[in-house]
Amino acid sequence: MSDNKTHFGYQTVDSDKKQEMVADVFHSVAAKYDVMNDLMSFGIHRLWKRFTIDMSGVRPGDKVLDLAGGTGDLTKKFAKIVGPSGGVVLADINSSMLNVGRDRLTDQGYVGNIEYVQANAECLPFEDNSFDVITIAFGLRNVTDKDKALRSMARVLKPGGRLLVLEFSKPTNPLMSKAYDLYSFTALPFMGKLVTNDADSYKYLAESIRMHPDQETLKSMMENAGLVRCSFHNMTSGVVALHRGIKP
């Protein structure tokens, strides 16, 4: 695919248009995003995220970047762990998602060690070697230039710091793969229509998952971005994978 073209779901679009199209999707679904996450994953997304936190090795005093952090699920847990001597930056490219996250966490009393930053993963507005841990959960597949974003994340990690990418991936079981396809392309848009009155955004989400690199490809991309000891852990038969890499 040429440099000035990219995928938006199954469509081929101009690279400079994708960011805006993805933004429209998340402006549309932001208010009901958490409800839909619970419905779509039958609540299992909470277990995937808990496993990510366990694998992150976050400790009191750490500086954490929760990228594409949206409504703040991970940020909330990290803020508790790092405590007053640490800090969490909740960053999202989408202002609607960021506002929902900030309002939600502020209402729940999470103030003091959380910052909110509107940021593009491809060119993060942070100094080199800033973070002990970076997580990006269900966000990388929406980024236009994933290689550039991974290099940007590696740059702002401290030496010895860890990047964790939680993302939908390629099911390892053929039966699961068939069932998952059927569910994604029929049930998801239907639920999207019912809950958010927006079937098209959930059709895009299903398609974007299919266009995302598989487990081994993403692992190689992380290595190419300069990370070492890269590995992945499949969950729910590979429907979701957690990739982990360390900055040397």
Residues making up the annotated binding site for S-adenosyl-L-methionine are 71, 92, 120-121
d(CA 3, CA 11): 15
Is there a contact between 88 and 105 (Cβ–Cβ < 8 Å)?
A: no
CB atoms closer than 10 angstroms to residue 6: 20
Instruction: Return the structure tokens found at 86.
Output: 């640490």
| DSSP code for 43 | T
d(CA 50, CA 63): 18
Beta strands per DSSP E along the chain: 5-8, 11-14, 63-67, 87-92, 114-118, 131-137, 157-168, 228-235, 240-246
Locate all alpha helices (DSSP H) within 108-211, ordered by sequence.
Answer: 146-156, 174-182, 188-196, 199-211
Beta bridge partners of 116: 90
Residues in binding site: 71, 92, 120-121
In this structure, the chain runs to a length of: 248
Counting DSSP H helices and E strands in the chain, the numbers are 10, 9
Comparing CA positions, the residue from 81, 28, 23, 25 lying closest to residue 52 is 81
